[in-house]
Structure 1
């Protein structure tokens, strides 16, 4: 069986604490148990049940009066702490009724006769089990019997069963005592056991008396069965006897009655006298109670006034403490120095001023104090202190930034000099600025509008330094770079080797550009990051920790030095918001900070382009890699600079491609171009050089250049070929073949060139087909013209009717065969010599002659098949014989 909550010592102590907290004195908790206030059995209460604790308490009387018993209802507060809910006096308990609707028998109602509203049903209490119910009811009956000397009416429960249960489960109210070893034991007093036995006896005696009366009545009834008349007569006799006995009894007791009546009269007179005295005492007591109430009321008012005065004094002391301005802070804010040794004092003064201003604002200050004259005057004084300090600090910082930069600019050792490249080093500058980082943070907290002029002053001063460093570095970088004096020229029509720039090594040019980016891009990113943190922009970090894409300065010292470690006035680390609205303002400030430095980068790009335009490819790849490393949105100017450099390099390279296309198009104006055009092999050299410079970067720039150059080359070739129709196919054949031969290796690895390689191959095949067909028809025109006429007629008339057509008879066939095939060796020899004579490249002749023989043999085989089909049994040279003739050439 689960342990009952009535045995829970912790629950009893919690109830005792709650009763004591309610102000009840001398009241002991005799019994406590958990119940549920609701309707239904305990296991199915659900949300209708409200957990409560019923506690039986006894208040010991100190004046010899009877003890008082109470029934207290306690509930759980939001913190799971017991607190009093209701109080019932046990002397008003008239009825204990077990609800019949609850089949478990665990729900009961306690009826009190002093309830204010009898129309409202008393609350129902539900126990966990029958044992808990019996323990509570039995304890209530015990107290009623012991303290009040009466038992309430019990309804809905069998009294005999309750008495039997009480015998089996002797109910005791445990008193917890502590032994020497600290353990608690339960002790039942002898008085409690006697009370228990008395209640049991009362309950059992009531039941026994009822049983005995019933048995006597039944015995009497049994005696009269079957003898109704005798029984009636007997009853009448007994009634007469009893009446006679009563009359006799009354006569005998008359003196006693007289004595009793006299005593009653004396008692009545005494009671009247006592009633008069009680009325007098009652009147005096009522006047005394009124006097006491008046005195207590005055005492309560005085006590309340005293408490209020004490609280008011404490609040005024706190308010005066807030309004007091420490002398040392006032001196620092109004006239203190901003030297480095005094910065700690200034920061402390700023922190105090910020806290003081906040403490005089709602909700830090009670709204009832806001409109007080002293508070308003103190707020005005603090505002004046704030304005004075912000003005002094802003003026100092503007002058400080300007003096720092002027000192560095005046010292030439900070910049690159002739014969010596100087890497910019701003470690000392940042260290000196970092001294005032906390001051700027507090200035932002005090007056955010003062940061605008300070940011402009810092940007203006540092912009002069950065532009001077970039200009001196770029000038010395170009002066110290060894590069060819004559610029490289590509795709010109002249065959002079001196104009071909492919032999000159211009790698130093792109190395110089890479060095420029390596030195200044990390510097600009670091300056942007330092500026954003130093000037209190709430934006994300510009350079993520451990980023592999940004090259660090070798002489810039430890990277951790750039971490300002800024904190807010409360000493907490600042956590920037990635969606801050200040991002746009920061990028505008960075534009002002770094504007103008791009001109030195442009100068290096233009200088490299003049030396070797193809170096634009390498510079484009270098810029692309740096651009991919700039991921932070706040480094907007650096990304814009790299985008502009990439665009400028692309424009310069596009200009070079346009000039190369212009050089190609000039070949069109030259008259009677024969052989391989000069720009065909030069393009192969140019493409090889371009592929060397690409170095793994994206191919968009070079693929666009290939497309434009090759399209211009093919278009110009077609125009040159069309200028002389007689040699058009020869020009196309030789140049397309040269294009394929020169780009064979590159086409295998470059998809764009492979596309143009296949295009040149198709154009070459078409030109070969046209040229060979013209040679064959020139030598055997009658033979294949006759074949074409016959083939055309086969679509309109029957094959057997063709020999009877005009000009297509067998006689005409014999004439054509005789004129075309009689000297076949000489005719093929003439075709061989004519093909050899038209070509300027001996390398192409064997393949073209093979194509010519194959084409001629295919046409002749078609002619033989036509003759065999149309002109049956007509003699003609076989295809095998023609192969033998062709094989001899």
Structure 2
């Protein structure tokens, strides 16, 4: 017999690899053929639909139970087994052998959770009956051992399977159960399957006894009644023997009963003795409990007295005021040498007040007279110290600033720009930073007057520094003033002063470079120094502006180092109320300093209005460098500066526009208007001044300038309709020529360049049509009449209309084309006479010849339709004539 695939070690290993990672153990693996076909009349299986599969029985151990699975594996394109289907054996409800298969090797497994599916379950075909029996017995054994039940078995001769299992028991490596059941094609119930196949159906000894019994009672079918009678008689004899044996044991029973009675008397005596001892023990237990109760009360009293003494000692320690702290709080000095003692006294006072509050003090102590009196005494100490410290700090801030203001070396002087240096001021203030923290914890309301005093004092210093710096900055900057008359028609091309005024914008940039970081740092220092619970305005050592390259080493001095004064305090976060109070205080701190910035802007505008573009870009760069939560006043200052620069530049634009509009009032205008080339010069210089994001400011100015220029040009052209198109085309052409380079790089100017180009083409078309019509009026008027009539009548009727006969055509041709070369020459002369720009003449003459040729070609087509027999000078001849001129 061929070796079964169930014993194939390689197959089992391949199955274990396929289910690797699922923690399942392969119990059996065997090759099968899967099909859904039915057996035909010939009794042969539809092999064309069979597919090679591998069935694997596996188990998975859980904590309380073991799960069993039936896995279907298929071969991939590379010949590797991979999982295809997974069935849980707990849902197996029926095992049915297909009766249509003569070999009996085809069976079907029914699962109760698949009943609702419309597709028929697959049929599995084994190589032989041995493989079939081996697989089914393994499935039944697993169901019985792990699940405690068996599925219904249909179409299997279980007796035959039992005999097969007995013969093949040594070859089965695992435990298997065999079932006894009815004959083939009958349904086997769960109660009938109770014989295990692991061992024999009947043991050898039992088999010999049965054979002996059967040998003793060998008889035919007709002797069944006699055999039954004989068995009844033997049963009666056995029962009688049992009754006789029971009666023979009566003396022994009497002896046992006598022993039980004697034991009962002994137990009764023992029970009396135990009752006596129980009473004595109960009395003794009551005496012991009484003694223990008295001892426990005494011990509890002792413990309570000891705890009370300790608690009173702690309370007295809280209520005691150290003399050194009391002296520091009431009359101590605030000099730098004594600040450590003052800080220690503040910490003690804060902790003491906090310790007498209910959350930190037992509520039962809160109403004690001693606690209330001591708390009132501490409050008095707190108020005294806060008042003294606040008065000292107000005077201290004022004295620091007064000392710096009285020393002129702190400020810019004639011939020397002095960068404000507050390092010494901040160093002296840092000495009292910890004191301010404790003052805030003692009385937050005391910080308001202190903040106002600090802001008032420092505001005087900052405004003085800004005023002296701005004055000296303007005095030391050398720049010649440019006239504001940029686009006035009366000025010549070289009237605008093109001297270098870059020092003006550099001076403005220097003002921002020096003071914007200073103001941001002062705002940050003030916020930290005065204990505002807001995020840091600038990182430690940061300059606070967008130009980090211009930050100096002094910026590192702005780090207060006071954020970790009290490690127990929580890290400051965003507090909307504190943020509003900070902005209000910053207004007091920095208000008025903006006037010096405005003065620099106005001074720069007077020297060169175009420098507003550079200053606008510089301001935008600094503004973009400020964070959204930075010092509010600094952002407002930069916004105001940007607005003021925009307003000043807007004034310049408005004045320039008025200069353009003055050209309209001139009586006589001819040739290119003066503001056209002047605008190109202005735009070129404006592009040189653009910095940062000033593109929008300049584009808006371009839009306003060009709009006014075009409107003014149209108005001037309309004053003399005869020469309107000449003025338009010459000026639009000049606009394009002067802005050609800039229009290639500036989108806004490119838009106006295309607008001027369209207006130029329209003016050219009108002007050329006027010249052509002036020389050949009769010719094209005749053509227009024909065109008008063709809308109402047919072409063959037109020669019969008044003034349009063939004779009229011949007269018109003789009058118009007899000296056509002279007429064309006259057109050129008229064109040359009216133009003041010689460079436009060649292009306009080419347009004129093309337009005339197009009109003449249209006229020739009309004559061909209406007067087919009449001859006129051909179009080619006219084209050659125009080309030769």
Tell me, yes or no, whether TM beats 0.5: yes
Please give the alpha-carbon distance, in whole angstroms, between the structure 1 residues aligned to 2:245 and 2:488.
Answer: 165
Please give the alpha-carbon distance, in whole angstroms, between the structure 2 residues aligned to 1:227 and 1:701.
Answer: 128
User: What is the Cα deviation at residue 744 of structure 1?
Assistant: 0.5
User: What is the Cα deviation at residue 415 of structure 1?
Assistant: 0.5
Matched, 1:531 2:526: yes
Matched, 1:43 2:59: no
Please give the alpha-carbon distance, in whole angstroms, between the structure 1 residues aligned to 2:720 and 2:680.
Answer: 26
Count of aligned positions: 653
User: What is the Cα deviation at residue 239 of structure 1?
Assistant: 11
1:16-40 superposed Cα distances (whole Å, 9 cap, x missing partner): xxxxxxxxxxxxxxxxxxxxxxxxx
User: What is the Cα deviation at residue 363 of structure 1?
Assistant: 2.1
Matched, 1:747 2:743: yes
User: What is the Cα deviation at residue 840 of structure 1?
Assistant: 1.0
- Matched with 1:730 is 726
- Matched with 2:508 is 513
Indicate how the Cα distance of structure 1 residues 859 and 467 shifts in structure 2: closer, same or farther if over 3 A, else same. same
Matched, 1:319 2:315: yes
User: What is the Cα deviation at residue 461 of structure 1?
Assistant: 0.3
Q: Is the contact between residue 509 and residue 618 of structure 2 (CA under 8 Å) also seen in structure 1?
A: yes
Please give the alpha-carbon distance, in whole angstroms, between the structure 2 residues aligned to 1:347 and 1:880.
Answer: 110
Of 285, 289, 292, the match for 1:296: 292
Secondary structure class of the residue paired with 1:422: coil
- Matched with 1:22 is none
User: What is the Cα deviation at residue 815 of structure 1?
Assistant: 0.5
Indicate how the Cα distance of structure 1 residues 290 and 410 shifts in structure 2: closer, same or farther if over 3 A, else same. same
Of 793, 796, 802, the match for 1:800: 796
- Matched with 1:870 is 866
Q: Is the contact between residue 441 and residue 568 of structure 1 (CA under 8 Å) also seen in structure 2?
A: no
- Matched with 2:593 is 597
Q: Is the contact between residue 493 and residue 678 of structure 2 (CA under 8 Å) also seen in structure 1?
A: no
User: What is the Cα deviation at residue 565 of structure 1?
Assistant: 2.0
Secondary structure class of the residue paired with 1:733: helix
Matched, 1:635 2:656: no
Matched, 1:308 2:304: yes
- Matched with 2:86 is none
User: What is the Cα deviation at residue 337 of structure 1?
Assistant: 0.3
- Matched with 2:8 is none
Secondary structure class of the residue paired with 2:839: coil
- Matched with 2:409 is 413
Please give the alpha-carbon distance, in whole angstroms, between the structure 1 residues aligned to 2:840 and 2:245.
Answer: 166
Matched, 1:541 2:536: yes
Q: Is the contact between residue 546 and residue 621 of structure 2 (CA under 8 Å) also seen in structure 1?
A: no
- Matched with 1:431 is 427
Please give the alpha-carbon distance, in whole angstroms, between the structure 1 residues aligned to 2:287 and 2:294.
Answer: 11
- Matched with 1:493 is 489
Please give the alpha-carbon distance, in whole angstroms, between the structure 2 residues aligned to 1:231 and 1:393.
Answer: 118
Please give the alpha-carbon distance, in whole angstroms, between the structure 1 residues aligned to 2:524 and 2:689.
Answer: 34
User: What is the Cα deviation at residue 672 of structure 1?
Assistant: 1.8
1:346-371 superposed Cα distances (whole Å, 9 cap, x missing partner): 11111111111111123221222111
- Matched with 1:683 is 679
Q: Which runs of 5+ in 1 are unaligned?
A: 1-40, 46-102, 105-220, 248-252, 254-259
Matched, 1:758 2:754: yes
Indicate how the Cα distance of structure 1 residues 507 and 800 shifts in structure 2: closer, same or farther if over 3 A, else same. same
User: What is the Cα deviation at residue 427 of structure 1?
Assistant: 0.2
Of 619, 622, 632, the match for 1:623: 619
Please give the alpha-carbon distance, in whole angstroms, between the structure 2 residues aligned to 1:361 and 1:283.
Answer: 60
Residue pairs, 1:167-206, within 5 angstroms: none
Indicate how the Cα distance of structure 1 residues 758 and 551 shifts in structure 2: closer, same or farther if over 3 A, else same. closer
Please give the alpha-carbon distance, in whole angstroms, between the structure 2 residues aligned to 1:798 and 1:559.
Answer: 94
Please give the alpha-carbon distance, in whole angstroms, between the structure 1 residues aligned to 2:239 and 2:514.
Answer: 140
Indicate how the Cα distance of structure 1 residues 486 and 549 shifts in structure 2: closer, same or farther if over 3 A, else same. closer
Secondary structure class of the residue paired with 1:581: helix
Indicate how the Cα distance of structure 1 residues 460 and 552 shifts in structure 2: closer, same or farther if over 3 A, else same. farther
Please give the alpha-carbon distance, in whole angstroms, between the structure 2 residues aligned to 1:366 and 1:666.
Answer: 90
Please give the alpha-carbon distance, in whole angstroms, between the structure 1 residues aligned to 2:249 and 2:567.
Answer: 108
User: What is the Cα deviation at residue 706 of structure 1?
Assistant: 0.2
Indicate how the Cα distance of structure 1 residues 733 and 294 shifts in structure 2: closer, same or farther if over 3 A, else same. same
- Matched with 2:72 is none
Please give the alpha-carbon distance, in whole angstroms, between the structure 2 residues aligned to 1:431 and 1:43.
Answer: 75
Please give the alpha-carbon distance, in whole angstroms, between the structure 1 residues aligned to 2:746 and 2:403.
Answer: 56
TM-score, with length taken from structure 2: 0.69
Q: Is the contact between residue 419 and residue 476 of structure 1 (CA under 8 Å) also seen in structure 2?
A: yes
Please give the alpha-carbon distance, in whole angstroms, between the structure 2 residues aligned to 1:596 and 1:729.
Answer: 57
Indicate how the Cα distance of structure 1 residues 556 and 413 shifts in structure 2: closer, same or farther if over 3 A, else same. farther
User: What is the Cα deviation at residue 799 of structure 1?
Assistant: 1.2
Please give the alpha-carbon distance, in whole angstroms, between the structure 1 residues aligned to 2:610 and 2:431.
Answer: 49
Range moving further from structure 2, 614-623 or 561-570: 561-570
Range moving further from structure 2, 773-782 or 364-373: 364-373
Please give the alpha-carbon distance, in whole angstroms, between the structure 2 residues aligned to 1:227 and 1:485.
Answer: 147
Secondary structure class of the residue paired with 1:726: helix
1:780-812 superposed Cα distances (whole Å, 9 cap, x missing partner): 111000011111111211111111111111000
Q: Is the contact between residue 483 and residue 509 of structure 1 (CA under 8 Å) also seen in structure 2?
A: yes
User: What is the Cα deviation at residue 857 of structure 1?
Assistant: 0.8
User: What is the Cα deviation at residue 548 of structure 1?
Assistant: 8.3
- Matched with 1:719 is 715
Please give the alpha-carbon distance, in whole angstroms, between the structure 2 residues aligned to 1:713 and 1:624.
Answer: 30
- Matched with 1:703 is 699
Please give the alpha-carbon distance, in whole angstroms, between the structure 1 residues aligned to 2:840 and 2:243.
Answer: 164
User: What is the Cα deviation at residue 544 of structure 1?
Assistant: 3.1
Q: Is the contact between residue 482 and residue 608 of structure 2 (CA under 8 Å) also seen in structure 1?
A: no
Of 454, 460, 463, the match for 2:459: 463
User: What is the Cα deviation at residue 842 of structure 1?
Assistant: 1.1
Please give the alpha-carbon distance, in whole angstroms, between the structure 2 residues aligned to 1:608 and 1:848.
Answer: 47
Please give the alpha-carbon distance, in whole angstroms, between the structure 2 residues aligned to 1:763 and 1:779.
Answer: 25
- Matched with 2:92 is none
- Matched with 1:694 is 690
Q: Is the contact between residue 492 and residue 679 of structure 1 (CA under 8 Å) also seen in structure 2?
A: yes
Matched, 1:338 2:334: yes
1:51-83 superposed Cα distances (whole Å, 9 cap, x missing partner): xxxxxxxxxxxxxxxxxxxxxxxxxxxxxxxxx
Residue pairs, 1:368-379, within 5 angstroms: 368-379=364-375
Residue pairs, 1:549-698, within 5 angstroms: 549-551=545-547, 557-567=553-563, 570-572=566-568, 575-698=571-694
Of 343, 355, 375, the match for 2:351: 355
Secondary structure class of the residue paired with 1:364: coil
Please give the alpha-carbon distance, in whole angstroms, between the structure 2 residues aligned to 1:275 and 1:43.
Answer: 53
User: What is the Cα deviation at residue 495 of structure 1?
Assistant: 2.9
User: What is the Cα deviation at residue 557 of structure 1?
Assistant: 4.6
User: What is the Cα deviation at residue 232 of structure 1?
Assistant: 10
Q: Is the contact between residue 425 and residue 555 of structure 1 (CA under 8 Å) also seen in structure 2?
A: no
Of 385, 391, 398, the match for 1:389: 385
Please give the alpha-carbon distance, in whole angstroms, between the structure 2 residues aligned to 1:801 and 1:625.
Answer: 79
1:461-486 superposed Cα distances (whole Å, 9 cap, x missing partner): 00000000000000000011001045
Q: Is the contact between residue 484 and residue 652 of structure 2 (CA under 8 Å) also seen in structure 1?
A: no
Secondary structure class of the residue paired with 2:416: coil
Q: Which runs of 5+ in 2 are unaligned?
A: 1-61, 67-144, 147-232
1:182-228 superposed Cα distances (whole Å, 9 cap, x missing partner): xxxxxxxxxxxxxxxxxxxxxxxxxxxxxxxxxxxxxxx99994997
Please give the alpha-carbon distance, in whole angstroms, between the structure 2 residues aligned to 1:749 and 1:234.
Answer: 133
Please give the alpha-carbon distance, in whole angstroms, between the structure 1 residues aligned to 2:274 and 2:642.
Answer: 119
User: What is the Cα deviation at residue 383 of structure 1?
Assistant: 1.0
1:525-562 superposed Cα distances (whole Å, 9 cap, x missing partner): 00000000000011111113567844569896553332
Residue pairs, 1:81-92, within 5 angstroms: none
- Matched with 1:78 is none
- Matched with 2:822 is 826
1:548-600 superposed Cα distances (whole Å, 9 cap, x missing partner): 84456989655333222225674347622135431111111111100000000
User: What is the Cα deviation at residue 850 of structure 1?
Assistant: 1.0
Please give the alpha-carbon distance, in whole angstroms, between the structure 2 residues aligned to 1:404 and 1:223.
Answer: 131
Please give the alpha-carbon distance, in whole angstroms, between the structure 1 residues aligned to 2:550 and 2:611.
Answer: 27
